Amino acid sequence: VDILDNFGYFCPPQAVPLSLSPAPGRWQHLCVTWAAAGGSWRSFQDGIPRGRGEGLAPGHALRPHGVLVLGQEQDALGGRFDATQAFVGELAELHLWSRALAPPEVAALARCASPEHGDLLAWGRAGLELHGGVTTLPFDPCA
């Protein structure tokens, strides 16, 4: 994910070993948490911890009104997308929080036992701009 905030500051992507292994053909709950204070991060698959680390963009603040690019790698700031590097699949219930969720909260979300929605971005409540043939369909992965 590349992030460009409203002041034009670019946070270069960093690679971390998320240790996620999504299986094709079934819905899965994937979650990555990150805390700016020390750059600590965790990855979860179906509520189970898979990876963790420190030092991922420590102290970096994400400012409001930025751009979040999903499903496509940027080869240059603000564009130069390569269609062969695009995500192909389905995405549901994307939420972003202003804090790192605790492991029990992630597990509850994965079990559909929590009605909580992201306070920065809540699926179905955000005005998203869709590009490149993306379509929206009604779907509830917890139904």
Domains in the chain, CATH or no CATH each: 3-12+28-122 (2.60.120.200)
Higher pLDDT, residue 35 or 66? 35
Q: Is the dihedral of CA 107, 110, 112, 116 positive or negative?
A: positive
Give the pLDDT score at 78. Answer: 66
Q: Name the percent of the chain lying above pLDDT 70.
A: 86
Look at residue 11 and tell me whether its pLDDT is greater than 60: no
Higher pLDDT, residue 5 or 135? 135
Average predicted confidence (pLDDT) for the chain:
80
At residue 84, the 3 state secondary structure works out as helix
Look at residue 119 and tell me whether its pLDDT is greater than 50: yes
Encoded amino acid at 110, one letter:
A
